[in-house]
Structure formats: C-alpha cells, structure tokens
A and B are shown apart, each in its own frame.
Chain A
C-alpha cells in the first residue's frame, strides 16, 4: 500500500497544476450559471427565449469543455505510465501491474472525482442546496466522473500518446453514437415490453463502463494492445446486439418491490378505477384508433398523493382477442391536489386522475363494447406536495425555499387579449431522474419525479387561477438548473351589461403560489375487472 500511495503521490504532483486549472474552470462555470439572472427588459423585448437558450448554449459548451478536458487529463494521467510500447519507465521498475492499476485508479479518483466534488460543494451550498441535495449532487457528479475516468483510462491504456488517444476516443465516441442510433431505431418499434425496453436501453447506455473497466484491467495486466482493440470492437457489436435483442428484464427485482410494500401500507388499495372506452371519429368517419380511458380516484394520504404513471394493460375482448395497450397519464392531475395543499380548496372528494391509451387496428367497434376483462398493472408514484413559494405578482418579486428560487421577471402577453403570462426565472437542484431522455435540457414533466403547479390567488376577492406552464428553456449543470417558464392565465372576469371584462383590482393583492410535488416512492397496483361495463362515448375530431 505504501508503494501504491508513493506512485499516487507522484501522479498528484505531476497533475497538480493542470488539474487545478480544470477545477477552477469547473467551479467557475457553476458559479457563473448560478450568478446569471435574466434582465427584466428581456420580457418587454420578448427575447427571454434568446436569453435562456443562449445560456443553455453556453452551458453546453462549458460542459463539453469540462468533459473533454477531464478526459484529456485522465488520459494524461494514464499515459504518464503508458502500457503500450516497450519504453515505459515503470515497466522496468519493481512495480507490479496490479499495483500500478490501483495507483492510477486512486489518483484518478482523487484528482477527477473527489477534488471536483470538494471544489463544487461550496458552490452547491451557496446556491441553497440542502446537505441531502449536496450529497446527491456530489454523488451524481462523482458517478459521471467515475464513468468518464474509467472510459478515458481504458482508451488511454490502449494508446501510446495523447494524440493517439484523442483520435481513438473520438472514433469510439462516434462508434458508440452509431450503436445507440441503430439500437434506438429498434426501441421505437411499437408493441414492446416496456420493462424489456428499459433493460435494453439501460444496458446499452451503461454497460460500456464496466466493460471498459475490464478492458483497462486486461490491458494493464497483459499489455496485449491488439487483443484489447479487438475486444473493444467486439464489445461494440455486442452492445448493438444487447440494445436490439436483450431478452431479460434486468430491472425485475429492483427496488420496486420495496416501494410496493410501502405503498400498500399507506393504502393504495383504497383507490378506485373506472374504465371507459371512447370511439374517436374523424371528419372522414374512418375506422379509427379507439381510446381507452382509465380514471383512478384516490384521496390524499397524509400529505401525499398517488399519481398514475404509464403502464400497460391487457384488454380481453368478447371474441377472445387480447389487446395489449400502454396507458399514459393525461391532463393536469396535480391541480386539484395542489389547490388543497395551498388551502384553496377544502372539499373531501377524491382526487381524480385520468390515464389513456389507444387501441389500433380494431375496426369492429362492437367487440370493444363487449370487452370481457381488463387486466394489468398500473404504476403509481406516491408524491409529497408542499408550497415552495408565495410571492406578490410584481416584476422582481423573488422567493426562495432551499435550493428552489423563483423570481418574477415580468408579465407578458399582448394588450387586448384575454390571456397573458407571468415570466418566471427559477433555480433548482436537478438530478438525473428529473431530466427527460428525449427532451434534452428540459425537465420532464410527465414522469412525476417532480411536478410544479402554479396558482394566481387574490384571497380578498376569492380568486384562484391555475396557471398553464410553458417551458421556455433551461440550462442545467452539475445538478443546478436554471429555467425560464411562462405561466399563462386568463384574467378573472365579470360580466357587465352582457359584456365580459377584467375583474377590477384583482392584480393588486394577487400572489403567485408555487406548489411542488416530489416523488416519494413508486408502486404498482394490479387492476383486474370482470365484464367491465364499458362506457361508450363518441368524440368527433
């Protein structure tokens, strides 16, 4: 161990200056993101899209720079004691290969994982992150850095110098992108088992890290570079095969089981489901996809609510056909619950959520009418809600709750229109589960890991309006999210002489309330019906 640490100290000395520069850049980038504020006149000029997108663009470059420089630093660290070639100094010294590998991993961990986490911690805390959020941000950042260091070490171990590394790493990144692109074509095919699909996606995206760790070990211990490259090539092909045809659900026994137990304990069994089938008719009266709606009702449980998430059910028809369909949550389920949390609604009716799925290729409408059975598993998210901000409806008003800051930048909308909007700039902690896969920088709103609801309230006038959220853009880096939202509302109105006009004085004393739901756990509920009395509706489109 002493000798291993002796090698680590040598590497720390060697990399001290370059890594210090990199750390300064990483910390400065996060400080910069946290310090950026949208100017108020950008709302008047209507260019807040440009502002947030410009910020997002700069942030993207900053992240790319961070990643590329970190990869080059990791490669430099590895290449200090290169494994390719026969002229390496360490190869002729009494340094066992395992010792060298351990030393490199320790040095990489200290310089590129621990050091940046230490450098970023004050920045996270200064941005209002709680200790728990700071720990999560640190863990997430560390996980990305570990993956990056492993990948960079593995490629560097197969190359002679930084120039070779740069080309090899670029080539591998392109090859990996191609593998993911090809696999994603298969992921978009209809009628797939969602668990299996998730397993394939996870393995394709994350399996390269342990695989490359194995390649790194192989190369350091054997120094058979050609075989190492062959293994990488075969690995990429195997990854493609995994992405397209992996046959087992690796997530089957993951923490969902625990969540289910917990959710059952708090009473998910009390939920009631209503199932309706809706026939949608187009202007051409064509045979059409038919929608199946499952409405779930459930009251608040403590300070939490169950929110439905997508899952699949099987519809067994009278003619014994079985139709598999995926249900997705529809509507703004949180409004009702949020109003109760904000004290704006007090009735004791159950909260109602709708889920919908579409049936394709069933032209025999009567068969749907005669559905015998609906069965499947519904996935629920148990969400806790709380009021995180209440601030006067004035430009510049700001409220902060932990890491969540909201500032009203201005009021937008055109004169004479009944609808206008509040433009808010927000700062939050954001973690991997909160960011959608397909939405780039946007925080995913439909997976219920976090959901915000906004109300405009004038208590004196008894007015409460739920606001419609339009995401203008966001920029996130190292778990710090800066986003701009437009919150649309219609003026409170009254009818005077048969004409509708804005309720006078409603703006004075109006406050903006933000309610946030955060995921507690996920759970499943089995849904089985016998001879469900389907409610048939027709909807012209």
Chain B
C-alpha cells in the first residue's frame, strides 16, 4: 500500500524541465528519503505533492487523493516542514501552537508538551527572535503534535548545527516509531538521511535514478577490490553493473551495483584468474557519489 504515488509527474518552468516524468511510490509507514544534488528537483516534487505547485503533466496521488484536490480533510493528516517556509514570525511559540491546534482534531497536547520539553523551545519567545535551528524545531513541533499520517520534510537539516540536527532527527524518529507514520524527507545531506531512511529515491536533473529500500540498495552496492595474481587483467566487456572500473598496479577496483557475493566472485574469476576478491559495504553517501559521477560521465560521453 502506497501513501504517495506519482505517474509521469512533470513540471516545467518555461523551457526548463525541473521534474521529468517521475514515477514514484512511497510505501505507507516508510521513512522515505528523496536524495539528490541541489537543483535535482526534490523541492519541486514535494511542492507538487503538497499542491503548492501544479504539475505541468502527469499526476500525483497523496493519501489516495489527486494532489490538486487536497482538501482540509487530507491536510489534517499531513505535516509539512520546509527550510524556506514562511512562518508567522510575529507569533510566539505558544501563539503558533495555539493558532495551529484548532485546525487538527487529533492534536495531542501531551505530545505537544513532551516535544516542547525535548526541543527546549521557549514558549514566550517570538519566532522572529528564534535561531534558525529553534525555528525549524518549532515548525516541526507544529507539524508533529497532531500525529500526521504523512510527514513531509523538505531539506530540514539545512543550516542546522550538528546538535540541533541530532535533536531534530531523534524527534522525528521517536515520533515516527510511535505509530504508523510515513515520513518523506528530501535532503542532500546523505549522512543524516542514512540514519533515518528505510527507503531511498535518488533524483538527478529532474529524473528518478533509483528508488528502493535502503537495505536492498546497500546490499546490492559493494566496493570491490580484486587483487590480481600473475594473470593479465581483462577490463573490456565487464558487466554493466560494474561502475568506475579502474586498475591500480596489480589491483582492479570497481563498484558493483548488482552485488551478489557468489555471482560477483564468479564474474571476477572468469576475467581475472587466480585473483583475490574483497567486497566492502558502501555508505549511502558513497553510493550517491558513485552514481552521480557515473551519470556525469555518461552525459559527457553522450554530449561528445
């Protein structure tokens, strides 16, 4: 069951295509990370999901409803926090919470108090006088206290110091573990997302490069090092899943994007007789960077 589904979702700004034919599915209950470099189309995608922007083509369904028809009923089930969101800065933290509360029948005052304490937010201080980190925490609190079914976080970690990030992530994780919540978080800060996400999608230049559970992704990506014996290295015709293949002295290194221990070792032995194969797991950051480099090289090649 997917809480978000998009079909050929496209958004153009004049001649620039910010998002191109996106087919995305966010499983209910997942913590779904939308990764990509700046300008990849993450924020545009989330804005289309939230009906802040209208798609040029295609459609998105959120909570089973066309995103263009999200009404009060659906929005009561959605929380949205964005780095650029305009908050009513003239309000105090208390006034913000008092203003938001009546819109949500499911508002949990106990949770509100717990999070206020956890985030150490000064209730009487105006939002305008809060630091950026505090402001993001206040926005998060105003989006968590009603236990939304879907929490959308757009670049929530930008500009936050490590301590605040940690508090922020802990807050999200803690609350999301308490119920059947779905969290969609867009970020280019892969290290932080890695702690959160159980599903990952990667966007580049408005196109979806991959979308799968984090565990599966990390399981199929390995940095492989082949220590060659006396035999010569045959680097032509390597499997398409081998990325960034390079030779350094008596070693061949590559990233296997379709790693399966036996199959990879078998493939290595077929090319490099008496070789020793070692495979290292990769972090999301390494996977992301590898894919980004490969895609850049492919584009360069296609252009030339």
A286 at the interface (CB under 8 A from B): no
Indicate if the CB atoms of B72 and A86 lie closer than 8 Å: no
A10 at the interface (CB under 8 A from B): yes
Contacts of A82 in B (CB 8 A): 86
Q: Of all chain A residues, which has the CB nearest B99?
A: A10
Indicate if the CB atoms of A3 and B50 lie closer than 8 Å: no
Encoded as 1 (CB less than 8 Å from any A CB) or 0, chain B from 69 to 92 comes to 001111110101010111110100
A10 to B103, CA, bound (A): 13
B249 at the interface (CB under 8 A from A): no
A80 to B99, CA, bound (A): 14
B52 at the interface (CB under 8 A from A): yes
A496 at the interface (CB under 8 A from B): no
Indicate if the CB atoms of A92 and B102 lie closer than 8 Å: no
Using known A-B contacts A10-B99, A87-B86, determine if residue A94 contacts B72 with beta carbons closer than 8 Å: yes
Contacts of A2 in B (CB 8 A): 102
Encoded as 1 (CB less than 8 Å from any B CB) or 0, chain A from 1 to 25 comes to 0110010001000100000000000
Chain A: minimal CB distance from B84 (Å): 5
Chain B: minimal CB distance from A393 (Å): 61
Contacts of B76 in A (CB 8 A): 94
Indicate if the CB atoms of B82 and A6 lie closer than 8 Å: no
A254 at the interface (CB under 8 A from B): no
Indicate if the CB atoms of B86 and A88 lie closer than 8 Å: yes
B119 at the interface (CB under 8 A from A): no
Encoded as 1 (CB less than 8 Å from any B CB) or 0, chain A from 87 to 109 comes to 11101111110010000000000
Indicate if the CB atoms of A6 and B52 lie closer than 8 Å: no
A94 to B75, CA, bound (A): 5
Chain A: minimal CB distance from B216 (Å): 32
Encoded as 1 (CB less than 8 Å from any B CB) or 0, chain A from 324 to 351 comes to 0000000000000000000000000000
Indicate if the CB atoms of B50 and A92 lie closer than 8 Å: yes
Indicate if the CB atoms of A92 and B103 lie closer than 8 Å: no
Using known A-B contacts A92-B50, A92-B75, A93-B75, determine if residue A6 contacts B85 with beta carbons closer than 8 Å: no
B273 at the interface (CB under 8 A from A): no
The interface centre, meaning the residue of A6, A14, A91, A93 with most chain B CB atoms within 10 A of its CB, is A93
Indicate if the CB atoms of A96 and B88 lie closer than 8 Å: no
Chain B: minimal CB distance from A18 (Å): 11
The interface centre, meaning the residue of B52, B71, B100 with most chain A CB atoms within 10 A of its CB, is B52
Indicate if the CB atoms of B88 and A93 lie closer than 8 Å: no
Indicate if the CB atoms of B71 and A96 lie closer than 8 Å: yes
Of the candidates B85, B90, B99, which one forms a contact with A92 in the assembled complex, judged by CB atoms under 8 Å apart? Answer: B85
- B residues 110-136 in Cβ contact with A at 8 Å: none
Indicate if the CB atoms of A91 and B103 lie closer than 8 Å: no
A2 to B101, CA, bound (A): 13
Of the candidates B78, B80, B85, B88, which one forms a contact with A80 in the assembled complex, judged by CB atoms under 8 Å apart? Answer: B88
Of the candidates B47, B86, B103, which one forms a contact with A95 in the assembled complex, judged by CB atoms under 8 Å apart? Answer: B103
A462 to B271, CA, bound (A): 135
B254 at the interface (CB under 8 A from A): no
Chain B contact surface mostly = mixed
Chain A: minimal CB distance from B49 (Å): 11
B267 at the interface (CB under 8 A from A): no
Chain A: minimal CB distance from B44 (Å): 9
Using known A-B contacts A87-B86, A89-B88, determine if residue A94 contacts B102 with beta carbons closer than 8 Å: no
Contacts of A92 in B (CB 8 A): 50, 52, 75, 78, 80, 85
The interface centre, meaning the residue of A3, A6, A91 with most chain B CB atoms within 10 A of its CB, is A91
Contacts of A96 in B (CB 8 A): 71-72
Of the candidates B72, B74, B82, B102, which one forms a contact with A87 in the assembled complex, judged by CB atoms under 8 Å apart? Answer: B82
Contacts of A91 in B (CB 8 A): 50, 52
A10 to B91, CA, bound (A): 10
B242 at the interface (CB under 8 A from A): no
Encoded as 1 (CB less than 8 Å from any B CB) or 0, chain A from 150 to 161 comes to 000000000000
Indicate if the CB atoms of A94 and B52 lie closer than 8 Å: no
Indicate if the CB atoms of B87 and A93 lie closer than 8 Å: no
Indicate if the CB atoms of A14 and B90 lie closer than 8 Å: yes
Contacts of A93 in B (CB 8 A): 75, 100, 103
B104 at the interface (CB under 8 A from A): yes
Chain A: minimal CB distance from B110 (Å): 21
Q: Of all chain A residues, which has the CB nearest B102?
A: A6
Using known A-B contacts A92-B75, A94-B76, determine if residue A3 contacts B87 with beta carbons closer than 8 Å: no
The interface centre, meaning the residue of B47, B53, B72, B87 with most chain A CB atoms within 10 A of its CB, is B72
Chain B: minimal CB distance from A136 (Å): 38
A6 to B85, CA, bound (A): 21
Contacts of B72 in A (CB 8 A): 94-96, 99
Q: Of all chain B residues, which has the CB nearest A86?
A: B52
The interface centre, meaning the residue of A14, A82, A91, A92 with most chain B CB atoms within 10 A of its CB, is A92
Chain B: minimal CB distance from A247 (Å): 39
Contacts of A80 in B (CB 8 A): 88
Indicate if the CB atoms of B84 and A87 lie closer than 8 Å: yes
Encoded as 1 (CB less than 8 Å from any A CB) or 0, chain B from 95 to 109 comes to 000011011100000
Q: Of all chain B residues, which has the CB nearest A6?
A: B102
Using known A-B contacts A92-B80, A96-B72, determine if residue A87 contacts B103 with beta carbons closer than 8 Å: no
Chain A: minimal CB distance from B112 (Å): 16
A10 to B76, CA, bound (A): 19
Chain B: minimal CB distance from A76 (Å): 11
Q: Of all chain B residues, which has the CB nearest A224?
A: B54
A3 to B78, CA, bound (A): 18
Chain B: minimal CB distance from A228 (Å): 14
Using known A-B contacts A86-B52, A87-B86, A88-B86, determine if residue A94 contacts B104 with beta carbons closer than 8 Å: yes
Can you name 5 extra interface pairs (CB under 8 A) apart from A87-B82, A94-B73, A94-B74?
A: A86-B53, A87-B85, A92-B75, A92-B80, A94-B76
22 intermolecular pairs with C-beta atoms under 8 Å apart: A3-B102, A3-B103, A6-B99, A6-B103, A14-B88, A86-B47, A86-B52, A87-B86, A92-B50, A92-B52, A93-B103, A94-B71, A94-B72, A94-B73, A94-B75, A94-B76, A94-B103, A94-B104, A95-B75, A95-B103, A96-B71, A99-B72
Interface residues of B (CB under 8 A from A): 47, 50, 52-53, 71-76, 78, 80, 82, 84-88, 90, 99-100, 102-104
Question: Can you list the 6 inter-chain pairs with the closest CB atoms, starting with the nearest?
Answer: A94-B75, A86-B52, A92-B80, A94-B72, A94-B76, A87-B86
